[in-house]
Amino acid sequence: MRQFMDMLDPGIMFLDTEFNIIFMNKEKRDNNPHVKPGMKCYDVFEEYGYRCPFCVCSRAMQEQSALIDVAYVAIQKGKELPVHMNITALPIIDENNKTLGVIEIAYDVEGQFQTNKRLERLNKEYEHVIYALSHDLRAPLVSIEGFLRKLTKGHIDIEDEVAAHCLDRIHANVKMMNGLVTVLLDTSRIATGKLEIQEMDVEPLLNSLIAQFKAKAEDQGALLTMRCESSSCMCDKVRVQQIFSNLIGNALEHCRNIKDLTIELGYKNKVFWVKDNGQGMPEDFKNKAFDAFTTLSSKSTDHFGMGLNIVYKIVEKHGGKAWIESEESKGTTIFFKLIPAD
């Protein structure tokens, strides 16, 4: 058994109920050559001078149950900074249900912790750069639109087919760039801004969304319905309205050729959804639908493929989750739950 323990990568240590070290495997011994069996773990590993107040091994022995601490911070002697570890504690219990000690299995995750910190910092820098670039792009686009209006007011012969075509293409590209800037700015605001969390009556919101999209739905022979079995939710109302607008717009866009299309807006047991009886999503697309710049069709009016990504970011900002159930030729349902509702 000792040889087997010595072959394992994590540091393994046996402690008795008084926190005396009974055994350490090779990984633990090599990293702590000054530590010997018989010493108390908190005398040699921690700088407290007494049992660590957050000790998962102590709790495991008291509860006689295996416990895991995935965010343990060891304040080690001789080290300037704390060490981040994942620790599993397995109590040793005899046939009389008496606790004899505990097995501690420790994984050093300091490298992973530092990598995550760097990634968080880079993400924040990226979000600020996106916001700054998007904001600065607005000014030249406004200027281009202004000059286009001047050109079209008598300065260019619009009957000249080449000139008219060029102006149309400039207008279209400026419009597309404005759309991209708007999406990027909105994405940045979601990531860096604060939510206005308050209690929201769900049914009036769903009714207002149905009224908002009624004309567009009727134009393509679609029916909007509602199923609301819970009354209220804690959330940012403006952002939730944005989620539904994106999802309803996507459903109408991608199901425009579906006969007798029905789109249901729903809320029950703190879960929202938008359901359609359209053509469904291919399995390979469903797995990446929430990714940025992903579109189901090149003909989609969502040129940038950011609609579902914005939905995901808003839900994530709420601490919630979003998921998709879809089957080809049978329709799609997109669910989301907002944790502040709990």
Token output for 280: 């469904």
Q: Is the pLDDT of residue 299 over 60?
A: no
Q: Which of 87-91, 165-169, 270-274 has the lowest mean pLDDT?
A: 165-169
Strands 67-74 and 223-228: unpaired
User: Max CA-CA distance within the chain?
Assistant: 99
**pLDDT score at 342:** 43
Taking the C-alpha atoms of residue 319 and residue 313, their distance in angstroms, rounded to an integer, is: 10
Q: Give dist(CA 35, CA 41) in Å, integer.
A: 9
Q: Which two tokens stand for residue 117?
A: 């910190």
> pLDDT band at 211, cuts 50/70/90?
very high
Say how many C-beta atoms besides its own lie within 10 A of residue 110's C-beta: 13
Whose structure tokens read 């349902």?
333
Nearest to 252 by CA among 277, 272, 233, 269: 277
pLDDT bracket for residue 46 (50, 70, 90):
low
Residue 246 to residue 238: CA distance in whole angstroms: 12
pLDDT reading at 75 higher than 70: no
How large a percentage of the chain has pLDDT more than 90?
41
Sheet with 223-228, strands from edge to edge, namely 223-228, 262-268, 271-276, 331-337, 321-327
Identify the sign of the CA torsion 300, 305, 310, 311. Answer: positive
Confidence of residue 96 (pLDDT cuts 50, 70, 90): very high
pTM: 0.57
CA distance 206 to 277: 19
Distance CA 34, CA 25 (A): 14
Domains and CATH numbers, the chain: 2-108 (3.30.450.20), 114-192 (1.10.287), 197-341 (3.30.565.10)
How much is the pLDDT for 199?
93
The answer to whether the beta carbons of residues 14 and 21 sit under 8 Å apart is yes
Cβ neighbours, 10 Å, residue 98: 10
Summarised one tens digit per residue, pLDDT across range 112-155 is 888 888 888 877 777 777 777 777 777 888 888 888 887 777 66
Q: What is the mean pLDDT of the chain?
A: 85
Q: Is pLDDT at 235 greater than 90 in this prediction?
A: yes
Write the CB contacts of 314 (distance below 8 Å, at least 6 apart in sequence). Answer: 190, 236, 239, 240, 242, 243
pLDDT band at 266 (very low <50, low <70, confident <90, very high): very high
